[in-house]
Amino acid sequence: MFWADLLLQNRKGAEWVNDAWTPSGIIHMGGLKGPVIHDVLFKILKEQGKKVKYTFGFDDMDPIDGLPPELAKSHEKHMGIPIANAPSPDGKGSFGDYYGNMMADLFKKLGIGAEIYLASDYYRKGIYNKAIEFVLDNAGKIRKVYSDMYQKPIAKDWFPLQVICPKCGKLGTTKVTGWDGKEVLFACKVDLVKWAKGCNFKSSISPFNGTAKMSYKVEWAAKWWTFGVTIEGAGKDHASAGGTYDVAKKILKDVFEKEPPLAFAYEFFLTGGKKMSSSKGLGLTGQDLLEVLPSQLVRFLMIKTPPNQAIEFNPRSRDIIPRIYDDYQQAQAKGDVNHRAFEFSQIGEKEKIPEIRFLTLTQWVQMPNMQDRIREEGLENWAKYAKVWVEKYAPDDVKFEIQKKIPKEVERLSKKQKAFLRKIAKELNKKWEAEEFQRKLYEWAKELGISSNEAFQALYLSIIGKDHGPKAGWLILEYKEFVQKRFMDISSV
Ligand SMILES: [Zn+2]
């Protein structure tokens, strides 16, 4: 059974699916997994006829606590300020808008049906006021959750809230030390964190309507409580035992006295068994991924494997990206093991799916005279992706170029290999089907007493200057006249 159907079996009542992300940097391809997985759950619940909502928060009240290298200088002074209040690198809107708009664009391309909300907007509108009051009133219970989970005492003057310093605008540097039912007492500390310096201002302020933000784990529970979230998964980094997710669930249970939403953890993408990391040049951004896979196939990649299994993804391997296309084509069939994943990969109107294998298409796009055929067979869309894969990622043995001059390497060819080329050149006077011709190549090699390795090496060297290449039968017939002349020239020396 499809993992998502299994997860959603026998549930009762209306549902609220939620997920969130902090808009503070370029979206890594793994960052699309949460939005897509939750979207599939949302769509299955709709299919079941449930009353269901799917919301996705951009957590732009979080303070900026790190910067990509290209912004290290220009944005250093904004460290500690809420993402929503710092300027965008391109001068339009906020720092959070800059990355948030990129994510919203990816959502659109991927057909993700979530209602996006900004944390800053919800705080300012007072949507979390009730929760803020509740967690301040019950700070003692929250301290107890923390001391139980972390096995250490929590100071009595610790509160699960930070305010935006009215003087310097920073949130990451403030510490709340008291609550009188109306206002919180706070200090903006010079050395509270390493990444930002506070201004030493001390005062009291009302914590409502956007002046303050709950600490991350408490905020997570407060969101569940405020909205009535029934389903929210978490990435592996949050979902480890005793991690953020566990603490948030315990706060919801012990402090808010509610049952936590349906939980599930999702794994990372791996490259060569290691966590994919953009800083090490191993990762793809969400945008990169959508350049090499159509939206439907991105969804398919994210959901065909159960979320709790890591997905090995090396874009340079000839077994990974081409394989996703193969699996997707097969999954069209009703009885296929991935058919449900295929169904929930569809966006909008159903598209006709090419029958040609992606790897074959990667060869076609490298043959200039195949352009008409690609058009005639309606393969332009996938051909666009095939070109990107060949140009950016494909291993060398997939790439080839017809050599306009006779490659120097043909000097290595033996008499028998040359005889093989001559035989092909003669046979090209007849009319051939590619499949049949491919079979004959093996026969002729045998007749001439050379191994198929030697035979194919001879023809590839002569045409593309490499030992290996695309399916020879196709290649030769596509360039029939050219190949015939080339093989005659070489074999007559
Ligand atoms: Zn300050």
Q: How many domains does the chain have?
A: 4
> Does 19 reside within a domain?
yes
Q: For residue 492, what pLDDT is reported?
A: 87
* Cα-to-centroid distance, 173 and ligand 1 (Å): 7
Q: For residue 46, what pLDDT is reported?
A: 97
Q: For residue 279, what pLDDT is reported?
A: 55
Tell me which of 353, 374, 398 is where a domain ends. Answer: 398
* Cα-to-centroid distance, 367 and ligand 1 (Å): 63
Indicate which CATH number applies to the domain containing 435.
1.10.10.350
* Cα-to-centroid distance, 129 and ligand 1 (Å): 23
Contacts of 233 (CB under 8 A, 6+ apart): 19, 34, 37, 38, 239, 263, 264, 265, 266, 307
Q: Assess whether 110 and 256 both reside in one domain.
A: yes
* Cα-to-centroid distance, 166 and ligand 1 (Å): 7
DSSP string, 388-420: HHHHHT--GGG-----SS--GGGGG--HHHHHH
Structure tokens given for 387:
């070109």
Domain that holds residue 29: 3-130+216-266
Tell me which of 398, 432, 467 is where a domain ends. Answer: 398
* Cα-to-centroid distance, 279 and ligand 1 (Å): 32
Neighbours of 333 (CB within 10 A): 11
* Cα-to-centroid distance, 84 and ligand 1 (Å): 17
277-280: long-range contacts, CB 8 A cutoff, minimum separation 24: 278/26, 278/28
* Cα-to-centroid distance, 170 and ligand 1 (Å): 6
Q: For residue 468, what pLDDT is reported?
A: 86
Pairing state between β 184-188 and 202-205:
antiparallel
The sign of the CA dihedral 389, 391, 392, 394 is positive
Q: Assess whether 287 and 392 both reside in one domain.
A: yes
* Cα-to-centroid distance, 248 and ligand 1 (Å): 28
Tell me which of 251, 266, 281 is where a domain ends. Answer: 266
* Cα-to-centroid distance, 97 and ligand 1 (Å): 24
Residue 59 CA: distances (Å) to CA of 21, 32, 120, 286: 6, 16, 7, 19
Q: Assess whether 222 and 86 both reside in one domain.
A: yes
- CA dist 182 and 208 (Å) reads 9
> Does 450 reside within a domain?
yes
Neighbours of 337 (CB within 10 A): 12
Q: Assess whether 427 and 312 both reside in one domain.
A: no
Task: Find the angle CA(130)-CA(136)-CA(138) to the nearest 5 degrees.
Answer: 100
Q: Assess whether 295 and 334 both reside in one domain.
A: yes
> Does 364 reside within a domain?
yes
Indicate which CATH number applies to the domain containing 109.
3.40.50.620
Q: For residue 277, what pLDDT is reported?
A: 63
Q: What is the pTM of this model?
A: 0.89
Q: Assess whether 284 and 382 both reside in one domain.
A: yes
Residue by residue, pLDDT tens for the chain (493 residues) are 999 999 999 999 999 999 999 999 989 999 999 999 999 999 999 999 999 999 999 999 999 999 988 899 989 999 999 999 999 999 999 999 999 999 999 999 999 999 999 999 999 999 999 999 999 999 999 999 999 999 999 999 999 999 999 999 999 999 999 999 999 999 999 999 999 999 999 999 999 999 999 999 999 999 999 999 999 999 888 878 778 999 999 999 999 999 999 989 999 898 877 777 655 556 799 999 999 999 999 999 999 999 999 999 999 998 999 999 999 999 999 999 999 999 999 998 888 899 999 999 999 999 877 888 899 999 999 999 999 999 999 998 888 888 989 999 899 999 999 999 999 999 999 999 999 999 999 999 999 999 999 999 999 999 999 998 888 998 899 889 999 999 999 998 7
> Does 432 reside within a domain?
yes
* Cα-to-centroid distance, 144 and ligand 1 (Å): 29
* Cα-to-centroid distance, 66 and ligand 1 (Å): 18
DSSP string, 203-259: EEE---TTSEEE-HHHHHHHHHHHHT--B--EEHHHHSTTSHHHHHHHHHHHTS--P
